[in-house]
């Protein structure tokens, strides 16, 4: 397996002393950076820049032939997007000021301290990545078309909100920073995570782990693996999911359910890029991008003391919120047609034709289970379908069942009055009469149902016969 390069373009280290080059190269490699170039002759630097994209430049200030100051000024002028870190033996303020005026991103004093050097380089890499992401986002704003439409082929939508999310995904997909995907159950968070992986350019696997209900030991074993003898029954080494996802993407679902102890371990993985398999006393380096998703409000969990503040901020460098299906009603016909074909293939049946009233019925349902719930409704309807136009009954039964379970409504009968939900009604200062309120409610239901009495009756929680009786009574009085 080819080793994944980090960073994607080389860090160029320039110093006339071979021992310094070796020391810096070793320090950065131990910190997980493996894409490095070294140069001991300052006269070759600009030629390297002309042939190779450079991510970060580390530059000695005092060199023969062409000084570091001269090189710094040239690079800053010709390649202003490349952050340059000056490595100097001078510790005076004047030198530091000179470096910054000449375009340096930072400077490090010799003899080089490993932690100081790694911190500086990581800051420079983050700065370069942020500039790249900002440029990509700006390009998408100017040109709204998608560059990678095939990457989103599993997500059936023509909704403007969703398409804008796709554009944002394209702009951040190649970032190494964390992505937090939020959305209700069933909106398609895993499909979005897969799309990010497809566009990322990563060559490793896409690995999904649902962390809901995992205690700390199972979480550690699942994610980090174990060595032989780590616990009773561990008769051989077993790599964790983070190793399986090496060079690729690890997607952690239901992150809001993570235990406090596991949150600490995940934070270290994100901050330091290292983890500790069970039974091992030496940390291993991670080489996978991490995407997390949740249907919970992490801010609310943080406020309640159930989620770490530092982990919350670490996860949400890039944030994606997927709107629920009730906020993208224009997708319902498209999704329904897709699921009808999918169900027919799966059940080896001809694809049934939906009745024209179906989309009106579905647009007036809240879909607490979102796209996944719609898929289940369609599969259930197709499984009982015989021939001709698809029946509405399976869909109506599903909606009735939800209403009874969630709102405790009685069985529908001829005499059942329209369902009332005080939380959904805003009364004017002058209350309407019962008769007037009922009339307005019926009129609104008919309006939402496109004058379909059957669907309006379902919305009101009464039978179609009861609604028809009310309408005849109203018409007979000439109101």
| Per-residue pLDDT tens digits for 47-94 | 999 888 999 999 998 888 898 889 998 998 888 889 999 988 776 667
Q: What is the distance between the terminal CA atoms of the chain, rounded to a whole angstrom?
A: 79
Is residue 384 pLDDT above 60, yes or no? Answer: yes
CA nearest to 156, candidates 328, 369, 274: 328
Contact of 375 with 339, CB cutoff 8 Å? yes
Inform me whether the pLDDT recorded for 216 exceeds 70.
yes
- Does the pLDDT value for residue 42 go beyond 50? yes
Does the pTM surpass 0.85? The reply is: no
Query: Cα–Cα distance between 406 and 424 in angstroms, integer?
Result: 15
Compute the Cα dihedral for 380, 386, 390, 396 and give only its sign: negative
Is residue 396 classed as helix, strand or coil in its secondary structure?
A: helix
pLDDT category, 410, cuts 50, 70, 90? Answer: very low
The strand pair at 284-285 and 274-275 is best described as: antiparallel
State residue 424's pLDDT score: 58
pLDDT at residue 416 tops 50: no
Residues 256-272 as b/e (b if ≥16 CB within 10 A, e otherwise) read bbbbeebbebbbbbbee
CA distance 53 to 301: 43
Residue pair 170/148 in contact by the 8 Å Cβ criterion: yes
Structural domains of the chain, with CATH: 11-131 (3.40.50.2300), 144-323 (3.40.50.300), 327-408 (1.10.8.60), 415-479 (1.10.10)
Query: What are 143-183's pLDDT values in tens digits?
Result: 567 888 899 999 999 899 999 999 999 988 988 888 999 99
Q: Is pLDDT above 90 for 213?
A: no
Give CA–CA dist 470/128, Å, rounded.
68
- What distance in Å separates the CA atoms of residue 219 and residue 258, rounded to the nearest whole number? 9
Find out whether 270 and 288 touch, Cβ atoms under 8 Å: no
pLDDT score of 283 more than 90: no
**Nearest CA among 400, 394, 438 for reference residue 418:** 438
């Amino acid at each position: 397996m080819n080793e994944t390069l980090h960073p994607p373009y080389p860090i160029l280290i320039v110093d006339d002393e071979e021992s310094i080059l070796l020391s810096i190269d070793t320090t950065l490699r131990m910190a997980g950076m493996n894409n490095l170039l070294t140069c001991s002759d300052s006269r070759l630097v600009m030629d390297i820049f002309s042939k190779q994209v450079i991510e970060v430049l580390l530059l000695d200030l005092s060199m023969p032939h062409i000084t570091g100051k001269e090189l710094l000024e040239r690079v800053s002028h010709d390649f202003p997007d490349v952050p340059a870190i000056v490595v100097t033996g001078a510790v005076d303020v004047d030198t530091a000021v000179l470096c910054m005026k000449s375009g340096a991103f930072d400077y490090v004093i010799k003899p080089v301290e490993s932690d100081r050097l790694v911190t500086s380089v990581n800051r420079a890499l983050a700065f370069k990545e942020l500039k790249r992401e900002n440029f990509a986002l700006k390009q998408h704003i100017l040109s709204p078309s998608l560059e990678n439409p095939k990457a989103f082929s599993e997500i059936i939508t023509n909704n403007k909100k969703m398409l804008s999310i796709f554009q944002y995904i394209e702009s951040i997909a190649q970032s190494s920073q964390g992505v937090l995907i939020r959305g209700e159950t069933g909106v398609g968070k895993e499909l979005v995570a897969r799309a990010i992986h497809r566009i990322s350019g990563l060559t490793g696997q896409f690995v999904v782990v649902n962390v809901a209900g995992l205690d700390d030991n199972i979480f550690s074993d699942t994610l980090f693996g174990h060595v032989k003898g780590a616990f009773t029954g561990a008769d051989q080494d077993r790599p964790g999911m983070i190793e399986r996802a090496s060079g690729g993407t690890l997607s952690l679902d239901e992150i809001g359910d993570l235990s406090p102890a596991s949150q600490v371990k995940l934070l270290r993985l994100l901050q330091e890029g290292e983890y500790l398999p069970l039974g091992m006393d030496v940390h291993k380096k991670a080489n996978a991008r991490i995407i997390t998703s949740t249907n919970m409000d992490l801010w609310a969990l943080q406020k309640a003391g159930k989620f770490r503040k530092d982990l919350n901020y670490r996860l949400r460098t890039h944030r994606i919120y997927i709107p629920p299906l009730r906020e993208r009603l224009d997708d319902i016909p498209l999704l329904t047609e897709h699921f009808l074909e999918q169900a027919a293939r799966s059940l080896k049946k001809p694809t049934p034709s939906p009745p024209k009233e179906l989309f009106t019925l579905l647009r007036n349902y809240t879909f607490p289970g979102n796209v996944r719930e719609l898929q289940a409704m369609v599969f259930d309807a197709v499984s009982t379908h015989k021939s001709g136009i698809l029946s509405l009954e399976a869909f109506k039964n599903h909606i009735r069942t939800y209403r009874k379970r969630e709102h405790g409504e009685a069985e529908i009968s001829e005499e059942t009055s329209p369902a009332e939900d005080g939380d959904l009604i805003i009364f004017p200062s002058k209350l309407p009469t019962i008769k007037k309120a009922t009339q307005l409610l019926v009129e609104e239901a008919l309006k939402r149902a496109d004058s379909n009495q059957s669907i309006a009756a379902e919305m009101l929680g009464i039978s179609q016969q009861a609604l028809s009786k009310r309408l005849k009574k109203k018409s007979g009085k000439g109101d």
